[in-house]
Amino acid sequence: MTRAPSDDSYEEIIIAGFGGQGILLAGRLLAQTAMKRGLEVTYMPSYGAEVRGGTANCMVIIADEPIASPVVDRPDSLIVMNKASLNKFASRLKAGGLLVMNSSLIDIEPQLDNTIEIIAVPADKIAVELGNQKAANMVALGAYLQKRGILSPDAAVACLAETIAKRYHKTLPVNTEALHRGAEFAKDSG
Partner 1 sequence: MCGNEALAEAAIIAGVDAYFGYPITPQNEISAYMSRRMPEEGRVFVQSESELAAINMVFGASATGKRAMTTSSSPGISLMQEGISYLAGAELPSVIVNVMRGGPGLGNIAPSQGDYFQATRGGGHGDYRTIVFGPSTVQELVDCMSLAFDLADQYRMSVVVLADGILGQMMEPIVFNKKPRRSLPPKDWALTGAKERPQNIVRSLWLPEGSLEKHNYKLQAKYEQIQKDEVLCEQYEVDDAEIVVIAYGVAARIVRSAVNKARKEGIKAGWIRPITLWPFPSEQIAKAADELRILLVVEMSLGQMIEDVKLAVAGKVPVVFYGRPGGGVPTVDQTLQRIKQFTIPTKRQEE
Catalog residues that contact partner 1 under the rule CB under 8 A: 1-5, 28, 31, 35, 40-45, 47-49, 67-71, 73-74
Select 67 or 174, whichever has its Cβ closest to partner 1: 67
In the bound complex, what is the minimum distance in angstroms from residue 78's beta carbon to partner 1?
Answer: 17
Select 40 or 117, whichever has its Cβ closest to partner 1: 40
Residues in the chain: 190
In the bound complex, what is the minimum distance in angstroms from residue 48's beta carbon to partner 1?
Answer: 5
Select 68 or 174, whichever has its Cβ closest to partner 1: 68
In the bound complex, what is the minimum distance in angstroms from residue 47's beta carbon to partner 1?
Answer: 5
In the bound complex, what is the minimum distance in angstroms from residue 14's beta carbon to partner 1?
Answer: 14
Nearest to 13 by CA among 121, 99, 134: 99
Select 42 or 102, whichever has its Cβ closest to partner 1: 42
Residues 97, 64 contacting (CB under 8 angstroms): no
In the bound complex, what is the minimum distance in angstroms from residue 94's beta carbon to partner 1?
Answer: 12
Select 47 or 168, whichever has its Cβ closest to partner 1: 47
